[in-house]
Structure 1
């Protein structure tokens, strides 16, 4: 049995599931709004939610796309008993999660969110070029027009409670100093790019796409500011062999066998920006005709 963790209506997950269905493979899809209880049946761990149920030892492979395995905890009215109950359930949950990670897997719930600062340090150790970066809580030493700021975490989605609209924190060029201090933020050297590269890494292989975002003022600084009227040109791209070796070293350091990596090509250099273990790669598959969905289905 194949176990898949994902968000509701994630298009990448849907494409892989289509392949699994065509291959007549049994799978369980767990969405991020499900909560499981742990039971014992026939001396075996049995997990059950309102939508799904399965024996732990029936799972042969796991794809941690997004979301994860979340639990409901049982409780009694007696607080003294609940202290013991909570501790016991914690260790049962820990056992289930760690057991799933011993299965054949694509990424793990335990390291699905990486620390950007550590990633950049590891990237340098792997021999990748990284733009100069620093943290600051003011702009006193920020060089205007040659420095960018971006989220210190992954992609940040801002929820608006007033009008039901979401927002994204984009990469931004610092054009003027701020007179006041602010919360610790991430700053990085602005690299003049020839084009950007999105690389999907899977089990030692790299599948890359060049994104010509610099030809459009709207996407020049951050290609995620998509211009639907005039989309960026995206083509299949082959990184130099030594680059792919360094990427493999970085992913081994991070204990990841799957992820999306972003680079900037500038002259003869490739600058590493970040890696997202759960990043979208459907665009890489579609624009470049890579059989990524089938590769994942075959692996599972």
Structure 2
């Protein structure tokens, strides 16, 4: 039985499931709105939500896409009992999650949020080219128009700042100085690129896509600022073999067997930028005819 941990309406998950259905494989999809009760049956651990139920020893492979396993805590009238039982349940939940992660898997909930600073340090140790970067709480050492600003971790979305809306923090070029100090921020050298590269990694296999974002002012700095009227050109691309070998070493050192990696091609160099373990990959998959959804289904 295949276990898929995802979110409601997550389209990438649905596309992989279509392949599993075609292959006639049994699977369980767990979404973020499910809360499981931990039970025992036949001396085995059995968990049950309003939608799914299964013995954990029946699971043969796990795909952690997004979200996570949530458990209901039993409540007692006596508060001291509650405190003790919550502690005991924590260890039981930990056992369940670690047992599932020990199965054949694609990604893990426990390391799905990678630390960008540690990733960049590790990439440099392995020998990948990384644009120079530094942390600062002011713009005293920033070279204007030649430095970009990015988030330290992940791609946080600002939900509901305005009613029924959301926003994303994009990569931005620093054009002017600030008069006051601010929270410690990630600054990086602005690389003049030939094009960007998005590489999808799965168990030592790599599929790369060249993204010609510099051909449009709207996408020049951050290709995620999509231009629907003039879509960015994307084509299949092969990273040099030595770069692919270093990517494999990097992912193994971080205990990751799947993820999307971003590069910039500039002259004869490929600059590594970051890893997104749960990023979207359907776009490059369709554009380049990679069928990554089938690759994931096959692996599971």
**TM-score, with normalisation over the residues of structure 1?**
0.99
> 2 CA distance for matches of 1:220 and 1:130?
19
Residue 222 (structure 2) aligns with: 222
Residue 81 (structure 1) aligns with: 81
Residue 63 (structure 2) aligns with: 63
Structure 1 unaligned residues grouped into runs of 5+: none
Residue 133 (structure 2) aligns with: 133
Deviations 1:84-138 (A, max 9, x none): 1011100100100110011110011100110000000011111100000011111
Question: How far 1:146 moved relative to its partner?
Answer: 0.4
Q: Secondary structure at the match of 2:9?
A: coil
> 1 CA distance for matches of 2:162 and 2:127?
46
Q: 1:161 to 1:189 in 2, by over 3 A?
A: closer
Residue 91 (structure 1) aligns with: 91
Deviations 1:216-275 (A, max 9, x none): 000000000000000100000011100000000000011011000000000000000000
Question: How far 1:176 moved relative to its partner?
Answer: 0.2
Residue 111 (structure 2) aligns with: 111
Question: How far 1:208 moved relative to its partner?
Answer: 0.2
Residue 188 (structure 1) aligns with: 188
Question: How far 1:161 moved relative to its partner?
Answer: 4.4
Please, what is the CA RMSD of the aligned residues? 0.8
Question: How far 1:162 moved relative to its partner?
Answer: 3.3
> 2 CA distance for matches of 1:132 and 1:284?
28
1:285 aligns with 2:276: no
1:269 aligns with 2:269: yes
Q: Secondary structure at the match of 1:35?
A: coil
Q: What are the within-5 Å matches in structure 2 for residues 1-300 of structure 1?
A: 1-300=1-300
> 2 CA distance for matches of 1:127 and 1:163?
46
Question: How far 1:140 moved relative to its partner?
Answer: 1.0
Q: Secondary structure at the match of 1:135?
A: strand
> 1 CA distance for matches of 2:79 and 2:93?
20
> 2 CA distance for matches of 1:131 and 1:256?
23
Structure 2 unaligned residues grouped into runs of 5+: none
> 2 CA distance for matches of 1:32 and 1:148?
35
> 1 CA distance for matches of 2:7 and 2:182?
33
> 2 CA distance for matches of 1:164 and 1:24?
40
Q: Secondary structure at the match of 1:187?
A: strand
> 2 CA distance for matches of 1:161 and 1:188?
27
Question: How far 1:168 moved relative to its partner?
Answer: 0.3
> 2 CA distance for matches of 1:215 and 1:153?
28
Question: How far 1:11 moved relative to its partner?
Answer: 1.5
Worse overlay, 278-287 or 161-170: 161-170
Question: How far 1:160 moved relative to its partner?
Answer: 2.1
**Runs of 4+ in structure 1 displaced over 6 angstroms?**
none
> 1 CA distance for matches of 2:107 and 2:161?
33
